[in-house]
Amino acid sequence: MTTPPGPARDALRAPVIVAPMFLVSGPEFVIESCRAGLVGSFPTQNARTFEDLVDWFDRIRAGVADLPGASWAISMIVHRSYERFAAELELVQEYRPDVVVTALGPPSRVLDEVHGYGGAVYADVMSVEHARKAADAGADGLVLVCHGAGGHTGRLSPFAFVDEVRRFFDGPLVVGGAVSTGRAVRAVEVLGADYAYMGTRFIACPESLVNDRYRDMLVRSELGDVTATAAVTGVLCSWLTESLTDAGYDPESLAEAGRIDFSDVHGEHKPWKDIFGAGQGVGEIDSAASLADVADRIVEEYRAAGGHVAQQRRAEVGV
């Protein structure tokens, strides 16, 4: 049996990647995710300075050193407007995260470097066309960002998206989009994917980078309190409606798309500074519980729902 590139499934309590979330995921978030038996990740742009990013990599490497089989990942913006790309790619080759997830651009920009140290490259995709292009470019895995995801979100149902992609791609698939329970993780496997991307469910955890106002808003929000719009970043995103209103947006008239610009992502005047992302699974958040406690609950639900189906299927067919 060959092992697909990516996280070591046998070392995971559940096939969950705690998604890399903008202005939410940091080094403690990654380390505690790994300690909880899941895959930890963070987007590199969350580190305000390059020096901060080096420190974060050092902390993560030290924090997971005593965890046999632990897997961690980063997300990199590969859009042409992102100024730190080249410098970050050098760090990636030094610190060797197990998976590099490319966002807002082609995975080909990092393939040679990541493959050079034995890592895997997964590509964030939001359409079948983008999935096909990423697969043709040599991506090891695909992250299918489906309708209902928090932050940058998709428009497709996972039921159709997974089936379409499986017609031309047999590598690891990750499904994100309102996956907020262990039952939903199990459902992702049944669809034919390998991992679930879970973000929103963990935002309120004290290990995240968010402030108390954001946490409190998450706890009291439900499905109907989420608005999807491209007006803030130029890319379709899901936001907590209350935060949009507080920032001066009218949720009833958000048809116009903003301009895509990821230079100076921590700038004081960036529109997303005080607008809070959340997916349609936000209703599952009922407290600011620790990451370990949230993970335990998800694993318990997953096992009760008969998990590890995808892993069993691979063993049966010898792949």
The larger pLDDT score, comparing residue 188 to residue 234, is at 188
pLDDT at 202 over 90: yes
Strands 226-229 and 237-240: antiparallel
> 9-209+285-317 has which fold?
TIM Barrel (3.20.20)
Predicted confidence band at 5 (pLDDT cuts at 50, 70, 90)?
A: low
Predicted confidence band at 2 (pLDDT cuts at 50, 70, 90)?
A: very low
Predicted confidence band at 104 (pLDDT cuts at 50, 70, 90)?
A: confident
Q: Tokens 């140290």 appear where?
A: 117
| Cα–Cα separations (whole angstroms), residue 83 to 86, 240, 270 | 8, 29, 16
Instruction: Dig out the tokens for 274 from the structure.
Output: 């005080």
Q: pTM score, two decimals?
A: 0.90
CB atoms closer than 10 angstroms to residue 197: 28
d(CA 159, CA 32): 31
Predicted confidence band at 314 (pLDDT cuts at 50, 70, 90)?
A: very low
Let me know: does 39 contact 71? Beta carbons within 8 Å.
yes
User: Could you tell me what percent of the chain has a pLDDT over 70?
Assistant: 89
pLDDT at 83 over 50: yes
pLDDT at 318 over 80: no
31-40, 239-248, 253-262, 303-312, range with greatest mean pLDDT? 31-40
What confidence tens digit (pLDDT) does each residue in 250-273 have?
A: 887 775 555 545 555 555 555 557
Let me know: does 78 contact 106? Beta carbons within 8 Å.
yes
Parse the chain into domains and list their residue ranges: 9-209+285-317, 212-274
Q: Hey, is 260 helix, strand or coil? A: coil
pLDDT at 77 over 50: yes
DSSP 15: S
What confidence tens digit (pLDDT) does each residue in 41-64 have?
A: 999 999 999 999 999 999 999 999
Q: Residue 271: its pLDDT value, please?
A: 59
Instruction: Dig out the tokens for 93 from the structure.
Output: 């080759």
pLDDT at 3 over 50: no
What confidence tens digit (pLDDT) does each residue in 149-169 have?
A: 998 899 999 999 999 999 999
Predicted confidence band at 80 (pLDDT cuts at 50, 70, 90)?
A: confident
The rounded mean pLDDT for the chain is 90
Q: Residue 234: its pLDDT value, please?
A: 81
Q: If we measure between CA atoms, which residue out of 270, 284, 282, 277 comes closest to residue 240?
A: 277
What confidence tens digit (pLDDT) does each residue in 135-154 have?
A: 999 999 999 999 999 988 99
Q: If we measure between CA atoms, which residue out of 250, 211, 236 comes closest to residue 150?
A: 236
CB atoms closer than 10 angstroms to residue 183: 16
| Cα–Cα separations (whole angstroms), residue 132 to 29, 170, 226 | 32, 12, 30
Burial label for 144, CB within 10 Å (0-12, 13-18, 19+), is buried
What confidence tens digit (pLDDT) does each residue in 32-42 have?
A: 999 999 999 99
